[in-house]
């Protein structure tokens, strides 16, 4: 019972102590500039780089989903890889077994994962903080094994997994498969990014953030804490599922061991590096988890893991609030320059 | 306790004589007490924590339009009673009725919709949200939206947002918080945070407003202003106020009716004047040395 009194007295966990900032989005001009750069980038880089940037967007969506859960509603998850896998397999199975168009598999993957996340959210309601992290961890560990089970083998391809066909550009557009997939992913990313920002700036989003900041006060204001916590889980899982589906299409392959706990940890890292609760940071975080391991590998093949760890520590030490902090700093710098 | 200056024994409440208006209000409230049904009835409520009996068969009625003060020494059970009204604690016995209907079947998040709004003793704002957003959350219970229309910003969601903003901006204006609307609450001075909490509570459209030590941590002038504000809220917004407060000057000035708790029991009940002269109350406040 004494938790009630503690909640009155203390403000919450460190993850929610964001540096002061007015919004969880970028300014309009900067957003448009970034969009413009994103639109022309494929014209100037090799196909492999286009593929890498596509993966940044896909992981960015998954990190954003985690950000809605943790930054938005204050719940932790180390199990996002499970929802990512579920989305990937949903898309893969629909495309390869049932011949469904790749674009149409994404909403289905999203809905399947929303349902799964919402249902998982119910037992998760009884857990908080580190216990919730442990429960989601268990989910992430169990998922690859479930996918290998013999009874699903006809659909999942068992240990071998499924090969997914890469889509061609429609309307005979004169662009490579990689470039087309990039633009397709960019469009999906935009829709998810904008709707997520709308959500967080709405009555529902405020209810979630209120829960994150103070559950008891939120419920005294009429916020149904259980409902919004499970909804946050559902939304987060649904968006992660869409990322998983996109990932399956981009990588052209789904297999149980692509979706281990390592993926979940990578997404968690991406969120921390990008800044918890700041949606644009999700993509900076995703860039970190896509490119920095390569960088570490270039420094030393044998010790790439160690170098990755060192780089991560440096980032966390220098900018504990991640990309959000860098952006806030840059903003104030520009303000100063304008004034002088 | 025994070494306090004699001056304070003579005047333990730092009493300020009730103004003519307050006396009149009290009489009006008392007049209706016999005529109209009470707005809120607390009936034989008991709360037990492990071995501690925080509330022990407490009963009182609250009339519409009253400022009812709930006073008593530290640990008397005042906040515990508030938490029963918010459904954060479940009474082990007794009932709480609003307009004759028990509220004890409601979950905590369905209390604000029947018109019970509150502030917290130690300020329980949403520290990472702005003043405006804190107040907007207050408007949650009497608005409706769903995640689909909110994510797509459909007209339905937009009109809800317009309605919320209209109400909330007016309240911020009423409490002179407009200039802080976009400031995060975490860095604000304590007194301002209390005002933001009041704004958030008003945004729930309360019939009954529960204020848990609103004057705590405020300086002399702020307390004075707050007293006026509470009365204005009652008179202008027609809100019934249940006030927990240690600042006796403020209580005696604005309360129509006072209920005194001590060790979880109701010790006395009456007008400020009656309470000031009640020997039992004096004893509870001053300890046995007052005999
Ligand atoms: N959640 C809880 N768990 C255990 N004991 C509690 C709890 N809440 C209150 N109590 C106990 O119940 C008694 C009444 O506490 P309460 O907070 O209601 O007092 P109060 O009248 O509000 O005092 P104050 O003027 O200091 O705020 C105290 O003995 C307190 O320790
Ligand atoms: Mg108290």
SS (H, E, C) chain B: CCCCCHHHHHCCCCCCCCCHHHHHHHHHHHHHHHHCCCCEEEEEEEEEECCEEEEEEEEEEECCCCEEEEECCCCCCHHHHHHHHCCCCCCCEEEEEECCEECCCCCHHHCHHHCEEECCCCCCCCCCCEHHHHHHHHCCCCCCCCHHHHHCCCHHHHHHHHHHHHHHHHHHHHCCCHHHCCCEHHHCCHHHHHHHHHHHHHHCCCCEEEEECCCCCCCHHHHHHHHHHHHHHHHHHCCEEEEECCCHHHHHHHCCEEEEEECCEEEEEECHHHHHCCHHHHHHHHCHHHC
Q: Nearest residue on chain B to A20, judged by CA atoms?
A: B184
* DSSP H or E run through B55: strand B52-62
Question: Of residues A101 and B196, which shows the higher confidence score?
Answer: B196
User: Per residue in A66-81, pLDDT tens?
Assistant: 999 998 888 888 889 9
* Nearest ligand (C-alpha, residue B47): 1
Domains in chain B, start-ordered, CATH in brackets? 1-115+207-291 (3.40.50.300), 125-205 (no CATH)
**How much is the pLDDT for A328?**
79
Q: Ligand 1 pocket: which of B52, B55, B85 to mutate (most atoms <8 Å of CB)?
A: B52
A11 in contact with B, Cβ within 8 Å: yes
Q: Ligand 1 pocket: which of B51, B76, B88 to mutate (most atoms <8 Å of CB)?
A: B76
**How much is the pLDDT for A38?**
82
**How much is the pLDDT for B217?**
83
Report whether pLDDT(A230) > 80.
yes
pLDDT means per 10 residues, chain B with 291 residues, are 39 43 46 67 92 91 93 91 93 92 93 94 92 94 87 90 93 92 91 93 95 89 90 92 92 92 90 86 65 41
Confidence category of residue A158, pLDDT binned at 50, 70, 90: low
**Ligand 2 centroid, distance to B281 Cα (angstroms):** 18
Task: Indicate the SS3 state at residue B44.
Answer: strand
From chain A residues 253-282, the ones with a CB under 8 A of any chain B CB are 277
Contact B122 A195 (CB under 8 A): no
Contact A202 B145 (CB under 8 A): yes
Q: What is the ipTM of this complex?
A: 0.83
Pocket of ligand 1 (CB under 6 A): A 1-2, 4-5; B 49, 52, 54, 72, 74-80, 121
Question: In chain B, which residues have their Cβ closer than 8 Å to the Cβ of A223?
Answer: 109, 137, 140-141
Question: How far is residue B7's CA from residue B246's CA, in Å, rounded to a whole number?
Answer: 19
Domains in chain A, start-ordered, CATH in brackets? 3-339 (1.10.3470)
Q: Are A85 and A116 in contact (CB under 8 A)?
A: no
* Nearest ligand (C-alpha, residue B83): 1
Phi, psi values for residue A76, rounded to 5°: -95, 150
Q: Of B108, B143, B161, which has the smallest distance from its Cβ to A220's Cβ?
A: B108
Mean pLDDT rounded to a whole number for chain A: 83
Question: How far is residue B268's CA from residue B275's CA, in Å, rounded to a whole number?
Answer: 7
* Mean pLDDT score, A277-287: 89
**How much is the pLDDT for B35?**
54
User: Per residue in A33-62, pLDDT tens?
Assistant: 888 888 878 878 787 888 999 999 999 999
Question: Of residues B22 and A210, which shows the higher confidence score?
Answer: A210
**How much is the pLDDT for A28?**
75
**How much is the pLDDT for A7?**
38
A210 in contact with B, Cβ within 8 Å: yes
* Mean pLDDT score, A208-230: 93
Contact A213 B127 (CB under 8 A): yes
Confidence category of residue A275, pLDDT binned at 50, 70, 90: confident
- Nearest chain B CA: its distance from A25 CA (Å): 15
**How much is the pLDDT for A20?**
39
Kindly report which listed range (A19-33, A149-163, A171-185) carries the lowest average pLDDT score: A19-33
Question: How far is residue B55's CA from residue B68's CA, in Å, rounded to a whole number?
Answer: 18
User: Per residue in A78-99, pLDDT tens?
Assistant: 889 999 999 999 998 998 788 7
Q: Whose CA is nearest to atom 26 of ligand 1?
A: B74
**How much is the pLDDT for B166?**
92
Q: Of A203, A205, A221, which has the smallest distance from its Cβ to B112's Cβ?
A: A221
**How much is the pLDDT for B13?**
46
Q: What is the dihedral of CA A108, A114, A119, A122, to 10 degrees?
A: -170
């Amino acid at each position: 019972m004494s938790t009630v009194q503690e909640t009155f007295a203390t403000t919450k966990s460190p993850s929610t102590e964001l540096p002061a900032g007015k919004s969880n989005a970028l300014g309009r001009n900067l957003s448009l500039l970034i969009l413009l750069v994103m639109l022309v980038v494929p014209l100037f880089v090799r196909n492999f780089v286009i593929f890498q940037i596509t993966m940044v967007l896909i992981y960015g969506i998954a990190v954003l989903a985690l950000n809605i859960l943790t930054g938005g509603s204050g719940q932790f998850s180390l199990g996002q890889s499970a929802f990512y896998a579920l989305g990937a397999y949903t898309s893969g199975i629909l495309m390869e077994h049932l011949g469904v168009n790749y674009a149409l598999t994404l909403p289905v993957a999203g809905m399947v994962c929303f349902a799964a996340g919402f249902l998982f959210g119910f037992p998760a309601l009884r857990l908080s903080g580190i216990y919730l992290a442990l429960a989601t961890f268990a989910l992430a560990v169990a998922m690859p094994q479930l996918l290998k089970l013999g009874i699903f083998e006809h659909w999942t391809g068992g240990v071998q997994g499924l090969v997914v066909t890469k889509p061609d550009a429609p309307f005979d557009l004169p662009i490579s498969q990689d470039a087309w997939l990039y633009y397709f992913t960019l469009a999906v990313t935009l829709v998810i990014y904008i709707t997520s920002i709308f959500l967080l700036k709405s009555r529902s989003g405020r209810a979630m953030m209120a829960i994150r900041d103070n559950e008891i006060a939120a419920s005294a204001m009429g916020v149904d804490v259980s409902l919004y916590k499970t909804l946050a889980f559902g939304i987060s899982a649904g968006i992660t599922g869409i990322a998983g589906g996109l990932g399956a299409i981009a990588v052209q392959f789904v297999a149980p061991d692509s979706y281990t706990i390592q993926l979940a940890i990578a997404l968690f890292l991406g969120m921390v590096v990008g800044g918890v609760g700041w949606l644009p940071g999700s993509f900076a975080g995703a860039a970190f988890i896509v490119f920095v391991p390569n960088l570490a590998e270039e420094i030393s093949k044998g010790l790439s893991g160690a170098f990755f760890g060192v780089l991560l520590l440096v980032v966390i030490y220098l900018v504990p609030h991640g990309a959000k902090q860098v952006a806030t700093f840059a903003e104030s710098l520009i303000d100063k320059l304008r004034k002088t | 306790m025994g070494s306090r200056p004699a001056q304070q024994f003579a005047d333990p409440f730092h009493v300020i004589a009730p103004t003519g208006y307050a006396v009149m209000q009290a009489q009006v409230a008392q007049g209706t007490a016999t005529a109209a049904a009470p707005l809120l009835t607390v009936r034989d409520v008991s709360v037990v924590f492990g071995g501690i009996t925080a509330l022990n068969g407490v009963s009182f009625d609250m009339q519409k339009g009253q400022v009812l003060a709930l006073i008593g020494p530290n640990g008397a059970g005042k906040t515990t009673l508030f938490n029963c009204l918010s459904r954060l604690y479940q009474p082990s016995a007794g009932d709480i009725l609003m307009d004759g209907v028990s509220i004890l079947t409601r979950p905590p998040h369905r209390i604000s919709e029947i018109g019970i709004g509150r502030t917290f003793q130690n300020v329980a704002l949403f520290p990472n949200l702005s003043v405006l957003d804190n107040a907007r959350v207050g408007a949650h219970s009497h608005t409706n939206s769903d995640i689909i229309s909110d994510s797509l910003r459909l007209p339905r969601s937009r009109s809800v947002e317009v309605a919320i903003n209209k109400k909330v901006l007016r309240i911020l204006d009423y409490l002179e918080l407009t200039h802080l609307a976009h400031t995060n609450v975490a860095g604000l001075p304590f007194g301002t945070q209390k005002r933001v909490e009041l704004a958030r509570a008003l945004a729930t459209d309360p019939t009954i407003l529960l204020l848990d030590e609103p004057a705590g941590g405020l300086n002399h002038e702020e307390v004075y202003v707050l007293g006026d504000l509470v009365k204005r809220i009652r008179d202008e917004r027609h809100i019934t106020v249940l006030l927990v407060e240690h600042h006796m000057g403020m209580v005696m000035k604005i309360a129509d009716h006072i209920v005194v708790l001590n060790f979880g029991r109701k010790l006395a009940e009456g007008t400020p004047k009656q309470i000031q002269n009640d020997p039992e109350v004096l004893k509870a406040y001053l300890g046995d040395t007052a005999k």
